[in-house]
Amino acid sequence: MLYSGFHFHRTSLTCFVELFPFRPLTLISAYESPVKHLTYWHRPHTSKTRLPILFIHGIGIGLYPYANFLRELNNGGGEGYDGDVGIIALEIMPISSRITRSALEKDVMVREIQTIVRHFGCWVLNLCFEKIPLEDYQSAKRFRRLRIRLSSELTPCAYGKPMVLIKRRAKGSEHNRSLLCAVVKWLADLGVVVVFVYGSVALASQVFISLGDAGTVIARYIISAIVCRLVLRYELNGLRDVLTREG
């Protein structure tokens, strides 16, 4: 986009961490968007006879699939050329396979688009769009589900949605447990004893693991313990932050 004569208009630098993966271009761009949420690419309008274009992409990975399309729109030259056609290419990050804030409401989106358009003095313009193949839409939908799962995994449990656990009571008495529950508990208790005895007596022998492999096994256990401790500290810090806010 930069090689095609576009300038990137970023949001405030304080919003840099609100988007993942991060965009280093936000830190070096000298152009700032007049609105709070929307970023965009802009090419100045110099034509006297043609109208500027407002380009809004669809669900996918942002403006990358449309780079060649926008470049073709900018191609002028030839006889009758009276300047470049200005283009405002909006970036809507919540539908661009990014981990970021939720999508804007309709009224907020319309208001910010109007602010951007009026910022450049464009009162009349062409609305340009390009259809994306169904395969790209399905791929973006799968990536969005993956992004939601990764986001939930990286969010401390204290920030997640509360879960209500309902204890089912057997009919007739509150203290009666079902037969299945009793069998599962008995098997679990027996399994602990079996694992401890069999692991100590049979698997502790050097017949099953050599001294050379012991170092690798110990290293794996140490790394696993360190990772578990880091996850635990991460969850505890999230819980501490929630309790601090509520207290």
Which of these three, 153, 171, 190, is where a domain ends? Answer: 153
Whether residue 30 is found in the same domain as residue 130: yes
- Looking at the structure, do residues 130 and 33 belong to the same domain, yes or no? yes
Regarding whether 53 and 142 lie in a shared domain, the answer is yes
Examine the fold and report which residue of 118, 153, 188 is the final residue of a domain before the chain moves on.
153
- 3-state helix, strand and coil shares in percent for the chain, rounded to the nearest 5: 50, 10, 40
Closest by Cα among 91, 50, 68, 48 to 3: 68
| Confidence at residue 208, expressed as pLDDT on a 0 to 100 scale | 58
Residue 134 lies in a domain: yes
Note whether residue 169 is domain-resident: no
Local confidence pLDDT in tens for the 247 residues of the chain: 887 889 999 998 888 888 888 888 888 888 999 998 899 999 888 888 888 888 888 888 888 888 888 887 766 555 566 778 888 999 998 888 888 888 888 888 888 988 888 888 765 555 555 555 555 556 666 767 777 777 766 777 767 666 554 555 555 544 455 677 778 878 888 887 787 777 666 665 545 566 667 778 788 888 988 988 888 888 878 777 776 776 5
The pLDDT score that the predictor gives to residue 206 is: 47
Residues 201 and 89 in one domain: no
Report the candidate in 71, 65, 91, 68 with the shortest Cα–Cα distance to residue 8.
Answer: 91
Claim to verify: residue 138 and residue 32 sit in the same structural domain: yes
Residues 26 and 61 in one domain: yes
pTM over cut 0.75 = no
CA distances from 152 to 108, 127, 213, 247 (A): 26, 36, 37, 25
Both 128 and 225 in one domain: the answer is no
**CA–CA separation, 84 and 68 (whole Å):** 16
Looking at the structure, tell me whether residues 85 and 37 fall in a common domain: yes
| pLDDT value, residue 16 | 83
Q: Which of 107, 136, 153 is the endpoint of a domain?
A: 153
Evaluate whether residue 186 is within a structural domain: yes
Same domain assignment for residues 97 and 183:
no
37 and 142 fall within a common domain: yes
Q: What type of residue sits at position 94? A: P
Look-up: residue for tokens 């991060």?
Answer: 22
Cα gap 185→70, rounded to integer Å: 65
Domain count, the chain: 2
Range of the domain at 197: 179-246
Domain-embedded: residue 34: yes
Shared domain check, 196 and 138: no
Q: Which pLDDT value is given to residue 182?
A: 77
How far apart CA 138 and CA 38 sit, in angstroms, is 25
**pLDDT at position 8:** 92
Contact 87, 55 (CB under 8 A): yes
Q: Is residue 145 part of a domain?
A: yes
Map residue 178 onto helix, strand or coil: coil
Q: Are residues 139 and 211 located together in one domain of the fold? A: no
Q: Within a domain: residue 142?
A: yes
